[in-house]
């Protein structure tokens, strides 16, 4: 028997037992009341018998009794004749007549006995007042045999005897004891029958109730099982739903809390699913969802869970899977989902974005993990990156950065930003070739802040657009302002991913250059390599736009990102800026030297100008020179300089400082 059936049976037994209790109670009550009714019947029969005797056999002697005299022998004889036949121990035990003083004046068992003593006991007093006493009693209750009472079960009746001439005048009392046994026996037979019918009926009733209960319990169970299933599963794919998913995550966390193994949770979201729904119809949308669900489940191990969280969003729980394994599993899932399928004869290539987070490193409960996986998903979607692991940087403005956003808005409005200019030098000649504009925020309380203090937050808001425009305008304005002193020099400006996604940005730059009458060839826009990875398509478009306008593009922090070689060859950039992490190690690490050498080689083969940033030591510079690097930037020459210092440098005063200014 499976557990469901035994659960139903247990429930049924419980209900049937509960139903048995009132039915049994009813049986007891009915039996009791029938017994009482039968006893009352017996009393009524005895009373009737007494009344009959009173009215017929005693009638002729009533007035004698009322005369208050000792009964005459004639009367006594008459009474004897009228009553002896009655008192035969089967119909009547005792028949006595008492006068109004309670004295026994005639006893059918002892017809010749003399009258006894007056006896006005309670029963007699009631009768003398016109009442009737009738009930169960022990006949001869006082008789004792060997210390045990030997009374016989009887019904006693005390009836008033009334005068024949005055029907309301009580002239004596008739005392009658009738054996109870024969009446009881007669009743017992009827009672037995009644009991059989009664109990049989109740048994049938109970069986009917039990049968109904059985059917109801089973139905309720089936229904509740169905409801439970529905409440925890997605009807379309049959997958666990969001509620069950959360439960599974929690379960996995609890289980792994003991083993210490990680748990990865991922949220998978289909890209452009709405388009499929809108163009091919909901039925095809459903087919696609089912197909994706199947593909996903086929990739999972038995302990993993794939759930549909709603719409085109799925959740995955991968217990015991750490960051590295999760990455490869999710990459594979993304790949599998992306296989082409046909819907109504039309080839469709689904694409999924996946965000994931890891317990315990990135959150300690379901809620945190889900939110973080969600953030990673947004980042993945936003950047068209496919699979993204949660990282702190993805965190949206938290409470403290909310304050920072407000301050930044203020800062943009009140122009609290400043630019520093870091020189760029040609390695072979030592000649200044240009500047890179680096922004600083002169915070009213916290002093001069570097980009790392605010750029992350600023980049999450639209304010970054205003800042970049200001930086570009100021830096280019400055270049124009330096005039002849800076002739032939370039000015580099950094832009962030969000700027690159703004389709109006490139044309804005172009317009500003026209307004400033500045040669676009002197302008370099620096885009970090990681920015390219977040949204390759749009970054490429943006770069092409800049290139078309004659503006140079530099690939900043090269080596940090993962630009593929094919991507690199199609990017219309003119400069590679090797990340300072590698440059700074050129004098100590052979590996770094090899990487830098490869980057320089690669850049040159693609016809790019190669710049090393973060050059701090003469040894590094030497190594870079040997490797054929074109230009360098770093504290060895100068840190970011204030405008007057940069101007002094241009005026030929020489290197102002090799010590970094913030
Ligand atoms: P970046 O574009 O790679 O800029 C070079 C960073 O390296 C600058 O930091 C500079 O001060 C620092 N640096 C220069 N020479 C050396 C050196 O020899 N050793 C070391 N250790 N560091 C050196 P900074 O100014 O703090 O800027 C950091 C980053 O902030 C920049 O990296 C750039 O990505 C970003 N940034 C700066 N200004 C702007 C801006 O106006 N707009 C945007 N979107 N980003 C900016
Ligand atoms: Mg830069
Ligand atoms: Mg850089």
* pLDDT reading at 655 higher than 60: no
Q: What is the pLDDT of residue 90?
A: 66
Radius of gyration, CA atoms only, the chain? 56
| DSSP single-letter state for residue 115 | P
Task: Examine the domain organization and report whether 553 and 638 are in the same domain.
Answer: yes
Cβ(496) to ligand 1 under 6 A? Answer: yes
* pLDDT reading at 134 higher than 70: yes
Place of tokens 């970011």: 640
* Residue to mutate, 553, 583, 613, ligand 1, most ligand atoms under 8 Å from C-beta: 613
Task: Examine the domain organization and report whether 433 and 380 are in the same domain.
Answer: no
Task: Examine the domain organization and report whether 448 and 519 are in the same domain.
Answer: yes
Q: What is the pLDDT of residue 413?
A: 84
* Ligand of minimum distance to the alpha carbon of 635: 1
Domain holding 116: CATH number?
Answer: 3.30.450.20
* Ligand of minimum distance to the alpha carbon of 441: 1
Q: How far is the CA of 450 from the centre of ligand 3 (A)?
A: 14
Task: Examine the domain organization and report whether 495 and 575 are in the same domain.
Answer: yes
Cβ(616) to ligand 1 under 6 A? Answer: yes
Q: How far is the CA of 161 from the centre of ligand 1 (A)?
A: 131
Instruction: Tell me what the pLDDT averaged over the chain comes to.
Output: 87
* Residue to mutate, 448, 450, 451, ligand 1, most ligand atoms under 8 Å from C-beta: 451
Bridge partners (DSSP) of residue 343 are: 346
Q: How far is the CA of 554 from the centre of ligand 2 (A)?
A: 8
Nearest residue (by CA) to ligand 1, atom 23, is: 614
Domain holding 538: CATH number?
Answer: 3.20.20.450
Of 141, 169, 186, the one marking the end of a domain is: 186
Q: Is 353 a member of any domain?
A: yes
**CB 175, CB 96: distance < 8 Å:** yes
Q: What is the pLDDT of residue 145?
A: 65
Q: Is 595 a member of any domain?
A: yes
Over pLDDT 90: what percentage of the chain?
42
Q: How far is the CA of 377 from the centre of ligand 2 (A)?
A: 28
Task: Examine the domain organization and report whether 389 and 431 are in the same domain.
Answer: no
Task: Examine the domain organization and report whether 471 and 533 are in the same domain.
Answer: yes
Q: Which residues of 459-484 are buried (b: 16+ CB within 10 A; e: fewer)?
A: bbbebbbbbbbebbbbbbbbbeebee
pTM above 0.75, yes or no: no
* pLDDT reading at 143 higher than 80: no
Cβ(634) to ligand 1 under 6 A? Answer: yes
Nearest residue (by CA) to ligand 1, atom 22, is: 614
332 or 90: whose pLDDT is higher? 332
- State the total domains in the chain: 3
- Cα separation, 549 vs 543, whole angstroms: 10
Q: Is 77 a member of any domain?
A: yes
Closest to 523 in 3D by CA, of 467, 481, 482, 480: 480
Of 186, 205, 227, the one marking the end of a domain is: 186
Residue 44 belongs to domain spanning:
3-186
Place of tokens 């006082």: 142
Task: Examine the domain organization and report whether 374 and 261 are in the same domain.
Answer: yes
Q: Is 460 a member of any domain?
A: yes
Q: Is 171 a member of any domain?
A: yes
| Burial tier of 136 (Cβ tally within 10 Å: 0-12, 13-18, 19+) | middle
CB neighbours of residue 42 within 10 Å:
20
3-state secondary structure of 443: strand
Residue 662 CA: which ligand 1 atom is closest?
11
| Burial tier of 565 (Cβ tally within 10 Å: 0-12, 13-18, 19+) | exposed
Q: What is the pLDDT of residue 89?
A: 59
Q: Is 494 a member of any domain?
A: yes
Q: What is the pLDDT of residue 603?
A: 95
Q: How far is the CA of 495 from the centre of ligand 3 (A)?
A: 11
Task: Examine the domain organization and report whether 291 and 427 are in the same domain.
Answer: no
Q: Is 431 a member of any domain?
A: yes
pLDDT in tens, 207-257: 888 888 888 878 888 888 888 888 899 999 999 999 999 999 999 999 998
Q: Which residues of 389-415 are buried (b: 16+ CB within 10 A; e: fewer)?
A: bbeeebeeeeeebeebbebbeebbeee
Nearest residue (by CA) to ligand 1, atom 20, is: 614
Closest to 159 in 3D by CA, of 41, 38, 39, 53: 53
Q: What is the pLDDT of residue 63?
A: 79
- Cα separation, 112 vs 622, whole angstroms: 159
Which segments within 325-374 are labelled E, that is strand? 341-343, 346-348, 352-359
395 or 525: whose pLDDT is higher? 525
Closest to 411 in 3D by CA, of 475, 474, 476, 467: 467
CB neighbours of residue 294 within 10 Å:
14
pLDDT in tens, 7-26: 777 877 887 788 788 878 88
Task: Examine the domain organization and report whether 164 and 281 are in the same domain.
Answer: no
Q: Is 367 a member of any domain?
A: yes
Q: Token pair for residue 575?
A: 């400069």
* Ligand of minimum distance to the alpha carbon of 439: 1
Most confident region among 403-407, 412-416, 612-616 by mean pLDDT? 612-616
Q: What is the pLDDT of residue 400?
A: 59
Q: Token pair for residue 59?
A: 């009638």
Q: What is the pLDDT of residue 658?
A: 40
Q: Which pLDDT band, with edges at 50, 70 and 90, does 398 fall under?
A: low
Q: How far is the CA of 645 from the centre of ligand 1 (A)?
A: 18
Nearest residue (by CA) to ligand 1, atom 19, is: 614
Lowest mean pLDDT among 80-84, 289-293, 526-530: 80-84
* Residue to mutate, 458, 470, 494, ligand 1, most ligand atoms under 8 Å from C-beta: 494
Of 164, 186, 208, the one marking the end of a domain is: 186
Cβ(451) to ligand 1 under 6 A? Answer: yes
Task: Examine the domain organization and report whether 59 and 144 are in the same domain.
Answer: yes
Q: What is the pLDDT of residue 656?
A: 42
Task: Examine the domain organization and report whether 102 and 181 are in the same domain.
Answer: yes
* Ligand of minimum distance to the alpha carbon of 470: 1
639 or 149: whose pLDDT is higher? 639
Element (H, E) at 334: helix 323-337
- Cα separation, 55 vs 57, whole angstroms: 6
- Cα separation, 436 vs 448, whole angstroms: 18
The angle subtended at Cα 395 by Cα 391 and Cα 397, nearest 5°, is 160
Please state the rounded mean pLDDT for residues 69-85. Answer: 81
Domain holding 325: CATH number?
Answer: 3.30.70.270
Q: How far is the CA of 614 from the centre of ligand 3 (A)?
A: 8
Lowest mean pLDDT among 72-81, 417-426, 450-459: 72-81
Nearest residue (by CA) to ligand 1, atom 30, is: 451
Task: Examine the domain organization and report whether 274 and 170 are in the same domain.
Answer: no
Q: How far is the CA of 438 from the centre of ligand 1 (A)?
A: 6
Q: What is the pLDDT of residue 659?
A: 38
Residue 217 C-alpha from the chain's centroid: 27
pLDDT in tens, 548-569: 999 999 999 998 777 777 788 8
């Amino acid at each position: 028997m499976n557990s469901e059936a035994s659960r139903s049976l247990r429930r049924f037994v419980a209900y049937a037992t509960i139903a048995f209790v009132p039915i049994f109670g009813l049986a007891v009550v009915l039996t009791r009341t029938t017994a009482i009714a039968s006893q009352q019947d017996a009393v009524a029969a005895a009373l009737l018998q007494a009344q009959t005797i009173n009215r017929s056999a005693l009638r002729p002697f009533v007035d004698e009794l009322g005369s208050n005299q000792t009964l005459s022998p004639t009367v006594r004889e008459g009474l004897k004749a009228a009553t002896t036949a009655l008192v035969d121990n089967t119909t009547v035990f005792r028949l006595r007549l008492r006068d109004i003083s309670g004295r026994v004046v005639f006893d059918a068992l002892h017809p010749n006995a003399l009258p006894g003593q007056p006896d006005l006991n309670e029963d007699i007093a009631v009768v003398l007042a016109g009442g009737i006493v009738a009930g169960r009693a022990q006949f001869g209750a006082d008789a004792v045999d060997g210390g045990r009472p030997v009374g016989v079960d009887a019904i006693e009746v005390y009836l008033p005897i009334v005068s024949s001439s005055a029907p309301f005048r009580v002239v004596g009392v008739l005392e009658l004891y009738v054996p109870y046994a024969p009446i009881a026996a007669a009743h017992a037979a009827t009672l037995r029958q009644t009991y059989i019918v009664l109990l049989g009926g109740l048994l049938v009733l109970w069986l009917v109730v039990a049968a109904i209960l059985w059917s109801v319990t089973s139905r309720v169970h089936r229904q509740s099982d169905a409801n439970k299933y529905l409440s925890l599963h997605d009807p379309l794919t049959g997958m666990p739903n969001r509620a069950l998913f959360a439960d599974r995550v929690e379960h996995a966390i609890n289980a792994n809390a003991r083993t210490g193994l990680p748990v990865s949770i991922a949220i998978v979201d289909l890209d452009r699913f709405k388009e499929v729904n809108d163009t091919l119809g909901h039925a095809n949308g459903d087919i696609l969802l089912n197909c994706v669900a199947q593909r996903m489940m086929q990739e999972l191990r038995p302990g993993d869970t794939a759930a549909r969280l709603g719409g085109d969003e799925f959740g995955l729980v991968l217990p015991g899977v750490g960051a590295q394994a999760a990455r490869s599993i999710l990459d594979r899932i993304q790949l599998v989902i992306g296989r082409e399928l046909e819907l109504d004869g039309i080839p469709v290539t689904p694409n999924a974005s996946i965000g994931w987070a890891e317990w315990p490193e990135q959150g300690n409960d379901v809620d945190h993990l889900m939110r973080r996986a969600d953030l990673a998903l947004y980042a993945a979607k936003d950047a068209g990156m496919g699979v993204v692991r949660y990282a702190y940087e993805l965190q949206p403005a938290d409470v403290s950065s909310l304050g920072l956003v407000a301050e930044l808005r203020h800062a943009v409005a009140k122009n609290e930003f400043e630019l520093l200019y870091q020189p760029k030098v040609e390695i072979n000649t030592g000649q200044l070739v240009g500047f890179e504009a680096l922004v600083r925020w002169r915070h009213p309380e916290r002093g001069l802040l570097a980009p790392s203090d605010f750029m992350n937050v600023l980049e999450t808001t639209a304010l970054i657009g205003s800042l970049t425009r200001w930086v570009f305008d100021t830096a280019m304005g400055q270049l124009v302002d330096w005039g002849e002193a800076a002739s032939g020099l370039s000015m580099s400006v950094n832009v962030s991913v969000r700027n690159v996604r703004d389709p109006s940005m490139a044309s804005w730059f172009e317009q500003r250059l026209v307004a400033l009458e500045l040669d676009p060839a002197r302008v370099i826009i620096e885009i970090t390599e990681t920015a390219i990875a977040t949204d390759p398509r749009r970054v490429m478009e943006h770069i092409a736009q800049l290139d078309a306008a004659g503006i140079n593009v530099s690939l900043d922090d090269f080596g940090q990102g993962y630009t593929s070689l094919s991507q690199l060859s199609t990017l219309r950039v003119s400069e590679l800026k090797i990340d300072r992490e590698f440059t700074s190690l050129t004098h100590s690490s052979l590996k770094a030297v090899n990487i830098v050498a490869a980057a320089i080689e690669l850049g040159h083969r693609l016809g790019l100008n190669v710049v090393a940033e973060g050059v701090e030591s003469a040894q590094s510079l030497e190594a870079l020179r040997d490797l054929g690097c074109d230009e360098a930037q770093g504290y060895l020459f100068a840190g970011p300089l204030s405008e007057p210092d940069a101007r002094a440098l241009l005026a030929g005063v020489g290197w102002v400082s090799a010590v970094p200014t913030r």
